[in-house]
Structure 1
Amino acid sequence: MLIAALAFSLPGFRTGEPAPPFPDPPTAYTYREVRASNGVVLHTMKTSPRNVRLEAVSTNVLETRRYGINGGFFYNGDLLSIAVQNDRPVTRERGAFGSGWTNVKYSRGTLVWDGAARAWSVQQAASAGELAVSDRSEYWAQGGISMSLRDEARWAEQAAKEAMPFAADRRMRTGLVYNTGLNVWFIVSPVPCTAAEFRSAILETVGSGTLVDGIFLDGDGSSQMQCTEVQLPGDSRSVYQMLTLIN
């Protein structure tokens, strides 16, 4: 059964419905819903890396009154993935457990926007202190699992090395990808799929052949998106970090 057909417990919300009218909502993005040949449905938000802010939250994305998607992995409110902006974790101090300074336990794929160099990269890192950037006061970085979009032969091996959870299970999925034009896409599939199916659907339908790389974010019930065109609450759970649009 398609997740998109189900009602969730957040009051007044159904998956796929437009957002309620917020005052001065962000508009500097392009939304698309696409269906790949493998049946995976993707909801995508394309924007500029300069229009992205990483934030700590403690509720469902749909309750934040922000436009964006869920971020990295977490446990009991502690962040298990890197989430830093200008060398500051999104919560607490540098180095503190659960602050967003580290990819806890593993060196994992981390999407880095180097604002000073105007360059993207996916770096395998255990902590934000290991990231290579031009200016530590002008970058943001989001941890996840490497997609290795230009390495068809070894992407699954690399994801397994980074301890990707439930790669072979059909679950809701979230990802971040970028292209040669320096755009970034927030992507959520509310239709359960494997990691391979999600990745394949992205390569087929997003970016018109210009994609360079990206990362998988936390998925399943954490796969959440909010914008004017659509609301996707996952399984209605709270998440503890998200990527939001500034404008």
Structure 2
Amino acid sequence: MTDSQVTPSFRLAYVPGVTPTKWVRIWNERLPDVPLTLVAVTPGESFALLREGGADAGFVRLPVDGTDLSAIPLYTETTVVVIPKDHVIAAVDEVTAEDLADEVLLHPLDDTLPWETLPGRPANERPATTADAIELVAAGIGVLAVPQSLARLHHRKDLTYRPLTEAPESRVALSWPEDATTDLVEDFIGIVRGRTVNSSRGRSQTSAGGPGADQTKRKSPDKGAAKRKPTAGKAGKQTAGKPAGKSGKSARGGSGGGPKNAKNAKSPKRGKPRR
């Protein structure tokens, strides 16, 4: 099978907490012949996966690691603190960093928040993952600050969370290798940016025979016809005023071009009328 016969596909990576359902649905509606495959990846592995070609693009958490990857920031998440439901903090609507001064704040190795100084008291060890930290919170060993999407992802009936003010926030972005900005990547960028199928910046509308391409094809004949109108009109006028043939027999026998019309027609090259 040659490269031209290979069925195109698109691989989309995403880190925990990101829900790409909406964008995948739009992709399937606009490009039903190009299957999209989701690739779950940890935040620490996301950039290496893109560089190695394991995905065409991916939803990652900023900052982007290196200058060889392009990124479009999408949104910023609210930071929350995860606590047991019977914790005293559960009685308030939001928490400040100062409210955590006496709390053991767990700091997992895969933490996505760019802390400068951690509030609260440090734990004896750093949990390996956010999921491990959630288990420790449920055991009453400490509390955990995470983006809200991760708190929802690791939801448990015995835990809850509250917004944490004065804390760093996590930003989600769409990223891809800069030297691999393919047509399919451009298509997905358009979907993420909210462009419609008729957008002038959407690639698929012309390459895939979309509405934009049809309109372009219809305009060409109209322009050509408009240019030909003056020439056609001039030629028609000369033909109507000049008798057909040298003898003028057609003018005498025609229904719309009798002798009277031929006599009144203006032509710089006409000789004297016959008697």
TM-score if structure 1 supplies the norm length?
0.23
Q: Which has the higher contact order (CA 8 A, sep 6+)?
A: 1
Which structure features the higher share of strand residues?
1
